[in-house]
Amino acid sequence: QVLLQESGPGLVKPSQTLSLTCTVSGGSITSDNYYWNWIRQPAGKGLEWIGRIYTSGSTNYNPSLDSRVSISVNTSKNQFSLKLSSVTAADTAVYYCARRKVGATTYFDYWGQGTLVTVSS
């Protein structure tokens, strides 16, 4: 059973950088078969895909966030991380990490339980 767990500060000040980590257990993040993703959900709104990383370190980001997002991987710790810069109140959301099989048309099969990040001074 693959488990994903998000961690990081629950409160970030406006204009600062949001940083979160996802720890994967029950499976290796170095697998050739999966992409590792970040997804968020503001209160009362739909889910929004932020971006993904492959074990090689290659990344792909949502164009709406591309200029502010960075995702990295730490294979030795079986973790991947999200950095979102210059945050505003609009970035307040529950942030999820999730796994997706490699391929052009694949879905998210395992998710973390999410962590709430509030942007406020």
Partner 1 sequence: EIVVTQSPATLSVSPGERATLSCRASQSVSSNLAWYQQKPGQAPRLLIYGASARATGIPARFSGSGSGTEFTLTISSLQSEDFAVYSCQQYNSWPYTFGQGTKLEIK
Instruction: Please enumerate in sequence order all residues whose Cβ is within 8 A of that of 112, keeping only pairs 6 or more positions apart, or say none.
Output: 3, 4, 5, 6, 22, 96, 97, 98
Q: If binding is defined by CB under 8 A, does position 10 make contact with partner 1?
A: no
> Rounded to the nearest whole angstrom, what is the least distance from the CB of residue 73 to partner 1 in the complex?
20
DSSP code of residue 118: E
- At residue 91, the 3 state secondary structure works out as helix
CA dist., res. 73 & res. 28, Å (int): 12
Judged by beta carbon, residue 32 or residue 45, the one nearer partner 1 is 45
Size of the site for partner 1 (CB under 8 A): 22
Q: How far is the CB of 107 from partner 1 (least distance, A)?
A: 4
**Residue 54 or 111 with smaller CB distance to partner 1:** 111
Instruction: Please give the C-alpha separations between residue 102 and each of 3, 24, 44, 64, 74, in angstroms, as whole numbers.
Output: 18, 17, 30, 22, 19
**What x/- string results for residues 16 through 55 when contact with partner 1 is judged by CB under 8 A?**
-----------------------------xxxxx------
Site residues for partner 1, window 50-109 (CB under 8 A)? 60, 62-64, 96, 98, 105-109
Q: Cα–Cα distance between 117 and 92 in angstroms, integer?
A: 6
User: What does the binding site for partner 1 look like in residue numbers (CB under 8 A)?
Assistant: 4, 45-49, 60, 62-64, 96, 98, 105-114
